[in-house]
Amino acid sequence: MNLIDLATPGFFAAMGIEHRVLSKRAAAGDTAAIGYERRDTIASLLMGTASLYAPIALNRALAPVQPGQGGRWSRGRLALIATAVGAAAVTTAADVLARREDDSRLTRWARRVRPSAAVAAVAGGVVVGSTGWAARTSARHIWERSGSRRDLGTGVAVTAGALLLWDFIYYWNHRIQHESRWLWAIHVVHHSSEHYNLSTALRQPVADVFGMFVPYGLLAALGFRPSVIETARALDLIYQFWIHTEAIDRLGPLEEVLNTPSHHRVHHGSNRQYLDRNHAGILIIWDRLFGTFEREREKVVYGLTRNISTFNPLRIATHEYGEIARDLAASEDWRERLSVVFRSPGWRSAHRDEETEGRALAEA
C-alpha cells in the first residue's frame, strides 16, 4: 500500500468531523460556511474514484499509439500521426476554399468538412504529443537513462529535498493548468463544485494522460530515486487534502509560509480578484515570489465563472472538452484554433467581445 492508500480512511474520518462541526455552526445560526450538499458530495466522491481508475483505462486504450521501447513508433502511432497530419491538410485546404464568395459545390463541401477535420487534427495532435511527452519524461524513464548515475539514496533529508522540489514544480504545473485552456480542461474538474469542503479535495481530474506538464521526472536526473519521488508526490497530495475546508479560519504566522485553508479558499473562488491566484501546494512562498498571491478578504464565491450546474460525473469530466471542440469547429483559421486550445481559458470569450465591439464601431 502507498501513502495515499494508508491515508484514505483518515480522509473519510476527517470529512465526518468537518460535517459535524459545520452542522453545529449552522444550528447555532452561523450561515457563513456552505457545508455539504448530498448530490455534490456524491459527485466529488465518484470523481475521486474515477481519478484512480480512468487513467488506467485510458492508458490501456492508448497503448497502441504510445511510443514503444526505445521510443520506436508502432503501427498504431504512425497511423494516428498520419491521420492527424491528413486532417490538418484537409482543414488547411478547406480554409482556403471556404473563404470563396461563390456557392459552388466545392465551397459548400469545404465549409461542411472543415469543422470536423479541424477537431480531428487537433485531437490527434494532442494525443500524439501527450503520449510521447509522458513516455519520455517519466521518473522511471529518466532514472534509467541518467538519474541512477547519481543516486542520492533514501532518508528523511533526501525525501525532504524531493518534497521541496516537487512542490516547486507543482506550483508551475498548477499555474499553467489555469493559464492554458488545454490543461484547464483537465484541471477544471477540481474547480467545478460550488461547495467547498473536504470532499471537494477528492474531486480530482481523470484525464491527466492528455496533458503535457513540467516533468516531475526531472528530479530523477538530480539523483532522486523514483520511489522517493513517489513518496514526495503522496506527501504533497495528502497535505493539500486538509486545506479544502471552511471549518478552519486563519492560522496566524503560518499564513506567511504555508498554503492554508484561507489561501486555498481564495484559489477556489470565482470572484474576479481571486481568479488564478494562490497556486501553491504546500508552501505559499511560491505565489509570493512569482506574483500570484492574494489574501482572503471578501467572502469567496466557489465554482466556475460559468457554472455547469450538474452532478453528472461524465459531464463534469468532459464539459470543457466539448466547449473546446465547439470553438474549434467554429474557428476559421489555424491561428484562432491554436489560440482556442493553448491560450487562456477566457481568451475565446474576450476575442468574441472584441469582434463584436469592432463590428459595432465599424457599423457606427
Within a domain: residue 216?
A: no
Whether 191 has a pLDDT exceeding 90, the answer reads yes
Mean pLDDT for 120-146 is: 92
What pLDDT was estimated at residue 68? 72
Whether 7 has a pLDDT exceeding 90, the answer reads yes
Question: Which of 304, 282, 294 is CA-nearest to residue 171?
Answer: 282
Cα 364 from Cα 52, distance rounded (Å): 56
DSSP letters, 173-229, are HHHHHHH-HHHHHHHHHHH--S--SHHHHT---S-GGG-----TTHHHHTT--HHHH
The pTM is what?
Answer: 0.92
What pLDDT was estimated at residue 356? 52
Instruction: Output 359 or 109, whichever has higher pLDDT.
Output: 109
Within a domain: residue 218?
A: no
**Integer CA distances (angstroms), 75 to 67, 135, 312, in order:** 10, 17, 37
Whether 75 has a pLDDT exceeding 70, the answer reads yes
Within a domain: residue 307?
A: yes
Within a domain: residue 322?
A: yes
DSSP letters, 254-299, are GGGTB--HHHHHHHTB-SGGGTT----SSBTHHHHHHT------SP
Within a domain: residue 348?
A: no
Identify the residue whose cell numbers are 477537431. 119
Identify the residue whose cell numbers are 460535517. 19
pLDDT digits (tens, 9 = 90+) for 200-212: 999 999 999 999 9
pLDDT digits (tens, 9 = 90+) for 329-349: 999 999 999 999 999 998 987
The total domain count for the chain is 1
What is the residue range of 182's domain?
3-62+165-208+226-328
Question: Residue 21 contacts by C-beta under 8 Å, 6 or more apart in sequence?
Answer: 247
Within a domain: residue 108?
A: no
Within a domain: residue 195?
A: yes
- State phi, psi for 287 to the nearest 5 degrees: -65, -40
Whether 324 and 338 have beta carbons less than 8 Å apart is answered as no
- Quick one: CA dihedral 16, 19, 23, 24, positive or negative? positive
Cα 185 from Cα 95, distance rounded (Å): 26
Within a domain: residue 20?
A: yes
**Nine-digit cell string for 137:** 519524461
